[in-house]
Structure 1
Amino acid sequence: MTIHADKPRLDPATLRDLTRNGEGPRLLDVRTPGEFRTAHIPGSYNVPLDTLREHRTELLHHLDEDVILICRSGARAAQAEQALAEAGLPNLRVLDGGVTAWETAGGPLTRGPERWDLERQVRLIAGSIVVVTGIAGLFLPGLHLIGTAVGAGLTVAALTNTCAMGMLLAKLPYNRGPRTDLDTVVAALRGSS
């Protein structure tokens, strides 16, 4: 079930106009802290999707204005939109195409240390498993079926717009970056009021 399916997504040019004077809607970036630290839209707050889902009712008290949800491409932001809408927050929009579209449109980014984003990590791991088991399957019959299982998992990930491998990779220390818990998120949101 998708909430706000009829609500148009926000394009990067419109977001740029809304934030040009330093005011405008609250920007919540739902990527992992590691991804956020690598590059984010200036003025955005990092509220990782897992934290948002788990503490959405507590966060509602700090999100009484228009909220723009941001991720890498828009998929996780859409999941955050659904979670917050189900909790009762009405003024939600998703940045269409996420940080990727924002950067392509020439939007400014605050940059930190470079690291691979989750999608690229998933492609590396999945591709490596398929190649290794495919080649090893020439010598050990049946081993190639592991690659088939990975392919099936990627198909399910595309159909459900979720990714178990990505969720597992997000939990690695490399991807977590600095700890982002509810108290940290709330303190940041209060500081901007």
Structure 2
Amino acid sequence: MTTSTASGSITALSPETLREWITQHEDLVIIDVRSAAEFESLHIRGSYNVPLPLLSEHTEELAARLGSRVVLVCQSGTRAEQARQRLAKVGIDGAYVLTGGAPAFQKSGGDVVRGKDRWDLERQVRMAAGSLVVAGLVGGKLVSPKVRMVAGAIGAGLTFSAATNTCAMGRALSAMPWNKATTEPTRESAILSLPTKASSN
């Protein structure tokens, strides 16, 4: 099942459809835009890890290597949609976003590779934001009413995050040591290792 946007371009792809495509289309390229640590924990077999910050930095170079059938994957779809929008700006209009991300693909019976179990980045963001809000409210009662400003600041940050479809807390958490993989993707290892359009046809 795919979903059409208002403009008529198809951007959402169900896990079941992706499972069919993997067996039917040799030109299919699956790009996982999560952090290397998240990718290491669980990823679709045969997918390439190009974290969103790396993709954002080398969008044109990546686009030049992609063919006509591209599926973007993250944890839930948010980062994959950001990647789709960036690629659309440089001429890749036919990229798809996997609905529900890698976890939904696994639940559908798709072939995945599992590694070290870690919390995904989105779960870490929820934990950090929730903990800071609770700390602000408790501190406001026990220490000083001014500490409640922490909760307000987190709320404002989350509102801004939703409005701009970005996440500063997520970027900060992704830089933490526990979110680092053994080998972090680089331009050379992630983007230049992709098959070229010519070799994928």
TM-score over 0.5 for the pair? yes
In 2, the alpha carbon distance for the partners of 1:70 and 1:130 equals: 30
- Residues 152 and 186 of structure 1: CA distance in aligned 2, closer, same or farther (over 3 Å): closer
Instruction: Report percent identity of matched pairs.
Output: 44
Give the equivalent residue in structure 2 for 1:28: 31
Further displaced range: 103-112 or 163-172: 103-112
1:97-108 map, 5 Å: 97-108=100-111
Distance 2:94 2:147 in 1: 50
Q: 1:161 to 1:111 in 2, by over 3 A?
A: same
CA distance in 2, matches of 1:146, 1:77: 30
Contact 1:34 1:175 in 2 (8 A): yes
2:87 is matched with which residue? 84
Q: Tell me the C-alpha RMSD between the 2 structures.
A: 2.1
Task: After the TM superposition, list the runs of 4 or more consecutive aligned residues in structure 1 that deviate by more than 6 angstroms.
Answer: none
> Is the contact made by 1:73 and 1:99 (CA closer than 8 Å) also made in structure 2?
yes
Q: 2:145 aligns to what SS in structure 1?
A: coil
User: How many Å separate the matches in 1 of 2:56 and 2:149?
Assistant: 35
Residue matched to 1:183: 188
Moved more, 146-155 or 40-49: 146-155
Q: How does 1:131-150 map to 2 (within 5 A)?
A: 131-138=134-141, 139-150=143-154
CA distance 1:113–1:98, change in 2 (3 Å): same
Q: Which runs of 5+ in 1 are unaligned?
A: none
The answer to whether the 8 Å contact 1:18/1:24 transfers is: no
Unpaired segments ≥5 residues, structure 2: none
Partner of 2:164: 160
Count of equivalent residues: 191
Take 2:7 and 2:166, find their aligned partners in 1: how far apart are those partners? 18
